[in-house]
Structure 1
Amino acid sequence: MKAAEDIWRSGLMHRIIALLLVVSSLQAADPLPLFIEGYAGQRSIAQGEEIPIHVSTTAAKYEIEVARLGAVREVVWKKADVPGVAYPVPEDASANGCRWPESVRVPSTAAWKSGYYEVVFRAADAGGKWMQRGKRTAESSAWFIVRQAKPGTTSKILLQLCTNTYNAYNNWGGFSVYAYNSLSNNQGHRVSFERPGPSQFGRWELPFVQWAEKNGYALEFAANDDLEFRPELLTSYKLVLSVGHDEYWSTPMRDHLEDWIGKGGNVAFFSGNTCCWQVRAEDGGRAFTCCKQNYHLDPVYQSREFKTLSTLWSHHLLKRPENELTGVGFLWGGYRKSHGQFMTEPAEYEVHRPDHWIYAGTGLKRGDKFGGKDTIVGYECDGCELSWMDGLPFPTCKDGTPKSFEVLATCPVRWHPDDAEWYEKWESGRTGAACLGLYTRGGTVFTAGTTDWAHGLMGNDAVVMRVTRNVLERLAK
């Protein structure tokens, strides 16, 4: 006790308290973590329109750069020293959006080419005032699409990008429509476009766009839901493209495209897992609902009006398999080199009818295979129920595939059991086949039957390039 009193009287305790106060003050002045995130307020705009951008950041100021991604990356607009504000994230941001105020409005011009535009946000500071000093940087991105102001004036080919799929997989805020990447493995049923998050453009569509533009094919662009909200666009085109992973479609999207095909419009699905799930756009397209395997939770299920039930298009309650649109579907397709299926076998197509016009100039013979170098058959593929006669595949047409559908190439694929067990009409253990082919019903509809077709273009596969040319040049006239 005497020793403690001596320490106090000596003033040591006062110095200790003062030091603790200084440390506490310095800690209070530590800098906040540096972050910057944002999103575009619309999926697409026409040339000459403005696009609202919403940003949240701890930086006092930041920079925005807008660039078109195609054969080259072309920067079209920049703005520095934009005042930064950090906004709270609503608990329901995944479903209902961030509701952040507009931070800046980007003016496009008639000179901006139709295409996919990347918005890059960059922030930097010098760290803390008293400690944690040193330059810090943060960067993130958003995206939007510029449509041709006068559709069809630079191209008769419309590439509608898989923007619904981008949103479905986006788990920003905690939830996507998938359990595997959602908070506590609890999948969401409604997802908002009005939140930060990546797209899948770079994985599938960009390689196709780069190849097309480098080889002289002009394209005009739209978002998935432009087929729903701006169907008049279709009348200006000869050919509509789907590339990559075009998984989520609404009833109006499909109705409008099928009506256009019936009137002579052509479609090329250089995509797989296409039109697999039905979605319902809500809040004017700012969000959509997709209950998937939990379709019994969908209010539409309770009404017994199943036309817009947000589950598989091929579900027996919906009775509208995607085969009726694309010629093929996921129930008779599946995975290759993904989800543990056919992981060691080549991901290549076998040719069945080499005299067809899509193979013109390839020199292929029956039984030849192509695309294995670039694993073009994967990672998700569509097919149809087949019967085989004299070694050639024919669609049974029991699954909705049109009677005029010609199967031109196949490759075995399979579902993962975990994906199929919930579907009560499923045949356990079934192996299907990715099917490349086409049909004509008013217009002509081609399908590559695989998400990864564009990887063959990226790899300069001679057959993949020639087949793509044949399709574009014949169907865009």
Structure 2
Amino acid sequence: MRRTLTLLLAVSSLHAADPVPLFIEGYAGQRSVAQGEEIPIHVSTTAAKFEIEVARLGATREIVWKKSDVPGQAQPVPEDASANGCRWPESVRVPVGADWKSGYYEIVFRAADGGGKWTHRGKRTAESSAWFIVRQAKPGSTSKILLQLCSNTYNAYNNWGGFSVYAYNSLSNNQGHRVSFERPGPSQFARWELPFVIWAEKNGYALEFAANDDLEFRPDMLQSYKLVLSVGHDEYWSTPMRDNLEGWIAKGGNVAFFSGNTCCWQVRSESEGRAFTCCKQNYHLDPVFQTRQFKTLSTAWSHHLLKRPENELTGVGFLWGGYMRSHGQFMDGDASYIVHRPDHWIYEGTGLKRGDRFGAKDTIVGYECDGCELEWRDGLPFATHKDGTPKTFEVLGTCPVRWHPDDVEWYEKWEIGRTGAACLGLYTNTNTGTVFTAATTDWAHGLQGNDAHVVRITKNVLERLTK
């Protein structure tokens, strides 16, 4: 009996010595930083030591900084981490070189160990990543084109800690209303913006980079550029972001929205930009709703309570757009643009004629697209301008798109079952800048696929709007 008890205690001791799971994850303490500054990195890991690698993602992946044997420690996860951040202590501070090119930077965390002392032996590895953006220390010194990355959208979809601003990927399908940047989580850079950046850099177009909310907190930088770009899925904008960009356009600045679902939802920055609130269809839960001062109400920009449809900025909006080859809509559709007004300068050198289609091979129209209310005369589309679309907006290409019913039932002004149209086009007002819109999240896929028409139109826009 005594021997049996001794053996049981020994086995129990072995199990007690089993290794804890190996993990590592972290986040950058800021969305963007200027060349020559430092950026704090916050890491939680069960490894005693870990490695960190920083690389710029562009036409090539360029490793710019590495550090090994950084002391590791597992950190607690607050229950409200999704809304208020992890509050982890700083693990390491990365010195951003004055010679680091402006751009999107990936942080890779790596950890390894040999497993348990008595059991579960064998080399184990863990790896995760985070991101930050390097701004040009002297804005406009290497390029007159600013690409503001969709960092707000990255945060909106991030469900680390249990909640995003979406029900479908949140804990128990409960949608969050406030989301923090100060937590681990992926970005959407590789899906949409990276193909554009790769194409631009390979074709000799220098870009300088910023985060979405640099338009809010560092608006003076706009004065150094001729053209601001939005690429991919630029869905979440604050009032100051929009005010500052529209003010810059009014003074002659140009914008090219190679993006879709753009400026769809209003967010409200909080905690000095470390988080934002977006109540979306639950706008009645927003404290701003109770005040009846709706300017910063965190719902759809096109909502009748805000009275500020995104069309007034971009020329188009999601209310008159919708989905193509996503969300069950037009899943076999021709995801290409039909050409209208081929004599316009954006089509110069393409050889396209009225009624031609382009972009089908790379399904450039999708996954979410913007449009405007249209009327047709002699087979040509014209904006009605009843939805906020500027009077000078020209519709240069269209493609049918449609909302999913689940997305519209909450909005009392919606006409159920309506089919809209993605509307490629632009507007220019007297004494102001020009605003172009591709009106689709997937335009850059045509650049990735080297579609000759998409390439030429993109070049026409970049070259015309940077003169």
- TM-score band by shorter chain is over 0.9
**Structure 1 Cα separation of the partners of residues 160 and 333 of structure 2:** 35
Equivalent residue for 1:187? 175
Give, in angstroms, the shift of residue 196 of structure 1: 0.1
AA partner of residue 73 (structure 2): V
Which residue of structure 2 aligns with residue 326 of structure 1? 314
1:8 is aligned to none
Structure 2 match to 1:250: 238
Match of 1:454 among 441, 444, 463: 444
The correspondence for 1:90, drawn from 78, 103, 116, is 78
Offset of residue 110 of structure 1: 1.1
1:62 equivalent among 43, 47, 50: 50
Tell me which amino acid in the other structure corresponds to 1:184: S
Q: How does 1:256-295 map to 2 (within 5 A)?
A: 256-295=244-283
Of 126, 134, 142, which aligns to 1:138? 126
TM-score by length of 2: 0.99
C-alpha separation between the residues in 1 aligned to 2:103 and 2:332? 37
**In 1, distance between residues paired with 2:320 and 2:7?**
72
Name 1:239's counterpart in structure 2. Answer: 227
Task: Name 2:208's counterpart in structure 1.
Answer: 220
Deviation of residue 345 (structure 1)? Answer: 1.6
Q: 1:15 Cα shift?
A: 2.0
* Matching residue's letter, 1:456: G
Deviation at 1:17, TM superposition (A): 1.2
Q: What residue in structure 2 maps to residue 371 of structure 1? A: 359
For residues 25-44 of structure 1, the aligned pairs below 5 Å read 25-44=13-32
- Structure number, greater radius of gyration: 1
Tell me, in whole angstroms, the C-alpha distance in 2 between the residues paired with 1:40 and 1:128. Answer: 31
SS at match of 2:361: helix
AA of the residue aligned to 2:229 = L
Q: Distance in 2 between matches of 1:17 and 1:448?
A: 74
**SS in structure 2 of the partner of residue 78 of structure 1:** strand
Whether 1:445 aligns to 2:435 is yes
Q: Equivalent residue of 1:374, what SS?
A: coil
Deviation at 1:14, TM superposition (A): 2.0
The residue type equivalent to 1:462 in the other structure is A
Q: Which runs of 4+ in 1 moved over 4 A?
A: none
Query: In the alignment, what sits opposite 1:9?
Result: none
Secondary structure of residue in 2 paired with 1:24: helix
Letter in 1 for 2:434: T
Equivalent residue, structure 1, for 2:194: 206
Structure 1 regions of 5+ residues with no counterpart? Answer: 1-12
1:174 maps to 2:156: no
Distance 1:14 1:364 in 2: 91
C-alpha distance after superposition, 1:70-91 (max 9, x if no partner): 0000000000000000000000
After superposition, the C-alpha distances for 1:378-413 in whole angstroms (9 at most, x for unaligned) are: 000000000000000000000000010000000000
Q: 1:6 aligns to what?
A: none
1:343 to 321, 331, 356: 331
Give, in angstroms, the shift of residue 114 of structure 1: 0.2
Could you tell me how far 1:16 is from its partner in structure 2?
1.6
Following the alignment from structure 1 to structure 2, what is the Cα–Cα distance between the partners of residues 291 and 459? 37
Aligned to 1:312: 300
Among 435, 460, 464, the residue aligned to 1:474: 464
1:359 counterpart residue number: 347
Q: 1:249-305: per-residue Cα shift (whole Å, max 9, x none)?
A: 000000000000000000000000000000000011000000000000000000000
C-alpha separation between the residues in 1 aligned to 2:405 and 2:143? Answer: 43
- Provide the secondary structure at the position in 2 that maps to 1:373: coil
> Following TM superposition, by how much is the alpha carbon of 1:476 offset from its aligned partner in structure 2, in angstroms?
1.2
Distance between the aligned counterparts of 1:234 and 1:365, measured in 2?
A: 37
Secondary structure of the residue aligned to 1:296 is helix
Q: Which residue identity is paired with 2:220? A: E
Q: Please give the secondary structure, in 2, of the residue aligned with 1:244.
A: strand
Structure 2 match to 1:101: 89
1:46 to 2, 11, 34: 34
In the alignment, does 2:106 pair up with 1:118? yes
Please report how far the alpha carbon of residue 471 of structure 1 lies from its aligned counterpart in structure 2 after TM superposition: 0.3
Paired letter, 2:354:
R
1:429 aligns with 2:417: yes
Residue in 1 that maps onto 2:394: 406
How big is each residue's C-alpha offset from its partner over 1:184-240, in whole Å with a ceiling of 9 and x where there is no partner?
A: 000000000000000000000000000000000000000000000000000000000
| Partner Cα separation in structure 2 for residue 359 and residue 346 of structure 1 | 20
d(CA) in 1 for partners of 2:376, 2:39: 53
Q: TM-score, normalised by structure 1?
A: 0.97
Q: What SS does structure 2 have at the residue aligned with 1:399?
A: coil
Shift of 1:19: 1.3
Give percent identity, aligned residues only. Answer: 86
Count of residue correspondences:
465
Q: Which amino acid aligns with 1:305?
A: Q
